């Protein structure tokens, strides 16, 4: 039987974002996706998994997904990966940054600048980068096997806001239609907020996935 992937979901930070700890026990290595706050909670959960964190991947650069980045970076020594078009979100002035009124320690510069189709290797697994611009220009989804971490691109019955600077509603709907709804029905989706879901469920229940939907 195939070894199950460890996927630990933590709800962190001021907007209740999902932070995921993912890896294979047999690898002893794993990654953190979106350390959005509560660094101590994340680090404690990491030590409970027994995984050594080699990589931190950011689905996008909003502060509710990166507020604990610097602390998790410092404690784990992991490399940080973000899509090239969201890298400026990590730049700060001085030792503290502010984004949308939230203050947090400025992270170190990213180690890996991602583009569509890149793969991020962690232990024996590789994760494919699917560029899904719209919520931010450099939003990505991260796919391994039949599992996709979607950040704020798609949620159960919803999508990420496009009311932020740099957001584009038409681009987001196109990303969802062309990059997510084209995946097999049984694909499991792990969003940046809220519960996990599947492509089949969102095809059926999510109003934003209907072909031709332009909304509002
Ligand atoms: Zn966001
Ligand atoms: Zn978010």
pLDDT of amino acid 77: 98
Kindly report the CA angle at 16 between 68 and 158, in degrees rounded to 5? 125
pLDDT on residue 212? 62
Distance from Cα 43 to the centre of ligand 2, integer Å:
20
For residue 161, how far is its CA from the centre of ligand 1 (angstroms)? 7
Closest ligand to Cα 140: 1
Find the helix or strand (DSSP H, E) in which 5 lies.
none
- What pLDDT shows up at residue 216? 47
Residue 101: per-residue pLDDT: 75
Q: What residues sit around ligand 2, an ion, with C-beta below 5 angstroms?
A: 17, 64, 152, 192
pLDDT of res. 141:
98
**Per residue of the chain (216 residues), what is the pLDDT tens digit?**
789 999 999 999 989 999 999 999 999 999 999 999 999 999 999 999 999 999 999 999 999 999 999 999 999 999 999 999 999 999 876 677 777 777 789 999 999 999 999 999 999 999 999 999 999 999 999 999 999 999 999 999 999 999 998 999 999 999 999 999 999 999 999 999 999 999 999 999 999 998 666 654
CA 155/CA 198 separation, integer angstroms: 10
Q: What angle do CA 187, 191, 196 make, to 5 degrees?
A: 60
What are the tens digits of pLDDT across the range 91-135?
876 677 777 777 789 999 999 999 999 999 999 999 999 999 999
pTM listed for this prediction: 0.95
* Spatial separation of the C-alpha atoms in residues 115 and 108, rounded to whole Å: 20
* Ligand whose nearest atom lies closest to the CA of 161: 1
For 81, 86, 117, the CA distances from 176, given in Å and listed in that order, are: 22, 18, 16
Residue ranges of E strands in 67-115: 79-83, 96-99, 102-105, 112-114
The most distant pair of C-alpha atoms in the chain lies apart, rounded to whole Å, by 50
- Spatial strand order in the sheet of 147-151: 119-122, 125-131, 140-144, 147-151, 188-191, 197-198
Q: How many A from CA of 172 to the centre of ligand 1?
A: 12
Distance 95 CA to ligand 2 centre (A): 23
């Amino acid at each position: 039987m195939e070894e199950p992937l460890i996927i630990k979901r933590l709800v962190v930070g001021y907007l209740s974002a999902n932070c995921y700890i993912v890896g294979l026990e047999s690898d002893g290595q794993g990654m953190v996706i979106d350390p959005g706050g509560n660094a101590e909670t994340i680090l404690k959960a990491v030590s409970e998994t027994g995984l050594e964190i080699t990589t931190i991947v950011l689905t996008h650069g909003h502060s509710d997904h990166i507020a604990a980045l610097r602390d998790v970076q410092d404690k784990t020594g992991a490399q940080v990966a973000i899509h090239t078009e969201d890298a400026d979100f990590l730049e700060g002035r001085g030792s503290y940054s502010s984004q949308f009124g939230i203050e947090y320690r400025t992270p170190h510069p990213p180690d890996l600048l991602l583009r569509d189709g890149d793969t991020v290797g962690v232990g024996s697994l590789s994760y494919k980068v699917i560029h899904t611009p719209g919520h931010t220009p450099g939003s990505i989804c991260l796919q391994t096997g039949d599992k996709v971490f979607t950040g704020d691109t798609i949620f159960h019955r919803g999508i990420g806001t496009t009311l932020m600077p740099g957001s584009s509603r038409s681009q987001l709907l196109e990303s969802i239609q062309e990059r997510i709804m084209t995946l097999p029905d049984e694909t499991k989706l792990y969003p940046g907020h809220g519960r996990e879901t599947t492509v089949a469920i969102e095809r059926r229940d999510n109003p934003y996935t209907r072909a031709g939907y332009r909304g509002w």
